[in-house]
Amino acid sequence: MNRNESAAHLDQVLANVDANLDASLQRLFDLIRIPSVSTDPAHAADCRRAADWLSKELTALGFDASVRPTERHPMVVGHDRSGDGPHVLFYGHYDVQPVDPLALWHSDPFEPKLVPQPDGDTHIVARGASDDKGQLLTFVEACRAWKAVTGSLPIQVSVLFEGEEEISSPSLAPFLEKTGAELKADVVLVCDTDMWDAETPAVTTMLRGVLKEEIEISCADRDLHSGIYGNAARNPLQLMSDILASLRTPDGGVAVEGFYDGVQELPEVVKAQWQRLPFDEKGFLGNIGLSLPAGEAGRSVLEQVWARPSCEIHGVIGGYNDEGFKTVIPAIARAKLSFRLVAGQDPEKIRAAFRTHVRARVPADCSVEFFDHGASAATVMPIDGAFLQKALSALTEEWQREAAVAGTGGSIPILSAFKDKLDMDSLLVGFARFDNRIHSPNEKYDLSSFRKGIRSWARILAAFAEEAH
């Protein structure tokens, strides 16, 4: 399909998106109903079902699609070469986070519910509605509309759907080693990020990396009666608390020795651009019931969540936690934590520095063991490429708001793998909103995001077709 043909058909494609939105929504519901929780072995068969579902949908659209096994959860790969010109690889993930605590959900997390809102929008409430099933299907449904109207896509498209993104993509590197040549394209498209605000689309060009660690500290050889052994015997929960507290400085920084080695200050031109963005710091925290920034003193909220590294504690386990009371000094305490990393930080060096920091604070008669839960480096995308400019123009046209170039505090481990192994840059175009409660109870995706996300991808595909001429 040439440039003139794709432009001529675009209005028909957009009309097809709107006319078939209910059917698109039902397909999203069908995918959401599959509880593809990747971290829980009990849901391994559900992850396979989700992969099979996606492969069948792609095949029905004319893709050469298949489910590819890995050591854990399968990948879905599909190719459609009906178009000409540029070749894009679209990436998404079908796995989701656990739903705990279930009691905080207002409805069944795997039975999607439409909840009308006072502003006239509607929330799609379910686990995976936003992260990443709703986002993933915006692209698939855009391809469906192009196929329905023209019988082909305006450009060459490949897709890779993963089932392990929520567990740091352990099978990804070996998979790319085997299939990298097949997946090689001009650019990677990713729909797993946020809009700038409720009405302003964004392309994300900066993501932090992540390092996940678990610590287990052992003191006495058994649980102890606190009346008999209290004071004299080391309490691993107290020791763990002291160590965790030692990870932060009084001004909100990270106290691990060498943690900031290689970290660069934000360029002034970028800092100035961010300062011009309509960002409400008080509202950002106010929306989650907080009011005081807790990170590095003197840094803006955007700097803290986009451009500065961090350390967060996610869970501390030990002792008696059931109903009632038990005066016991536990023998073991555990904690789970993560570091978000920025450009210039080596995840393995940070891991080594963290473990050295902890070991130096464990007494000689106690022991510590570490468990690695994955790591990935930060990713920074070039902001002057032709694909980026085409995407920004298409988004601006659809949303009637100038599309923003943004960063994000989240991490997508696959992006560094695409760059390192296949030398492919990525464009991150997402339609989630900051209040989508991803990873939390009552996750939601706005129906307007789903509709306009589909329309946005339809426009982007047409815009990319211009690169062929």
3 state SS of 116: strand
User: So what's the pLDDT on residue 41?
Assistant: 97
The mean per-residue pLDDT over the stretch 25-43 comes to: 98
Is the pLDDT confidence value at 28 over 60?
Answer: yes
The mean per-residue pLDDT over the stretch 313-326 comes to: 95
Instruction: Report which of residues 310 and 408 the model is more confident about.
Output: 310
Q: DSSP readout, 399-442?
A: HTSPPEEEEES---THHHHHHHHH---EEEEE-B-TTS-TTSTT
Residue 332: pLDDT band by 50, 70, 90 thresholds?
A: very high
Residue 469: pLDDT band by 50, 70, 90 thresholds?
A: very low
User: So what's the pLDDT on residue 4?
Assistant: 63
User: So what's the pLDDT on residue 2?
Assistant: 59
* Strands 156-162 and 87-93, sheet pairing: parallel
Q: Which pair of structure tokens corresponds to residue 219?
A: 């003191």
The mean per-residue pLDDT over the stretch 140-154 comes to: 98
Amino acid in position 117: Q
Handedness of CA 407, 411, 416, 417 (dihedral sign): negative
Is the pLDDT confidence value at 399 over 70?
Answer: yes
User: So what's the pLDDT on residue 415?
Assistant: 85
Residues 261 and 343: their CA atoms lie apart, in Å, by: 11
The mean per-residue pLDDT over the stretch 312-322 comes to: 95
Domains of the chain: 3-207+378-468 (3.40.630.10), 209-263+309-376 (3.30.70.360)
Residues 287 and 239: their CA atoms lie apart, in Å, by: 35
Residues 431 and 391: their CA atoms lie apart, in Å, by: 13
* Helical residues (DSSP H) of 313-411, grouped into ranges: 347-359, 386-399
Residues 127 and 140: their CA atoms lie apart, in Å, by: 19
User: So what's the pLDDT on residue 412?
Assistant: 76
What's the mean pLDDT when you consider all of the chain?
94
User: So what's the pLDDT on residue 146?
Assistant: 98
Under a CB-based contact definition with an 8 Å cutoff, are residues 310 and 350 in contact?
Answer: no
Is the pLDDT confidence value at 168 over 90?
Answer: no
Is the pLDDT confidence value at 331 over 70?
Answer: yes
Residues 178 and 181: their CA atoms lie apart, in Å, by: 8
User: So what's the pLDDT on residue 338?
Assistant: 97
Q: Which pair of structure tokens corresponds to residue 117?
A: 């809102």
Is the pLDDT confidence value at 281 over 80?
Answer: yes
Percent of the chain with pLDDT over 90: 82
Is the pLDDT confidence value at 244 over 70?
Answer: yes
User: So what's the pLDDT on residue 468?
Assistant: 52
Closest CA to 139 of 74, 207, 84, 76: 76
* pLDDT (tens digit per residue) in 84-128: 899 999 999 999 999 999 999 999 999 999 999 999 999 999 999
